[in-house]
A and B are shown apart, each in its own frame.
Chain A
Amino acid sequence: DVKVTQSSRYLVKRTGEKVFLECVQDMDHENMFWYRQDPGLGLRLIYFSYDVKMKEKGDIPEGYSVSREKKERFSLILESASTNQTSMYLCASSSGVRRHYGYTFGSGTRLTVV
């Protein structure tokens, strides 16, 4: 069964900590995405990557960075966590050539910054 795996379901971090959210996919997908989801705000794209070592800013990149050293892994980094980054974070991947297949999502990481 193909999947996108996010390393943690729940995470609690302190303000100012550097936080790493990991995402791994086993579908050989070219594209990977990080979203955050907040009540009333829907899904907001933070960063995406369409190839190894490539990254593009989404709609809300401030306070975040990403890393994609290998095709299967896409990491989201909170350089200095703040309470307004408390959210549900969703990783997704998609094929670069079969866009009509849509995205495959991970189960999400619920991050609480205290």
Chain B
Amino acid sequence: QQKVQQSPESLIVPEGGMASLNCTSSDRNVDYFWWYRQHSGKSPKMLMSIFSNGEKEEGRFTVHLNKASLHTSLHIRDSQPSDSALYLCAASNMGYKLTFGTGTSLLVDP
């Protein structure tokens, strides 16, 4: 069964600092990766997606993908207290069902 592993489980960064989150899939058929953010008590909302090798940047958020190792990472620069949330990584094969990791809980310390 496809597994999506995320690390670290939790992370504390100072306000203005850089947060780095990791995600790896064990399914070699995966071709899409998604990052969702879930604030406490709210539903997950998509942050970024990536399916090509390399890097994608949107504002303070950068996603990297290495398809050979099925590893993606999310980097948040100039972290803000409002970035404190659960970050979920998901992987899918040919856009089929999404399998989610258990998430990284990020706390930005003001």
A associates with B: no
Q: Which residues of B does A touch, CB under 8 Å?
A: none
Q: Which residues of A does B touch, CB under 8 Å?
A: none
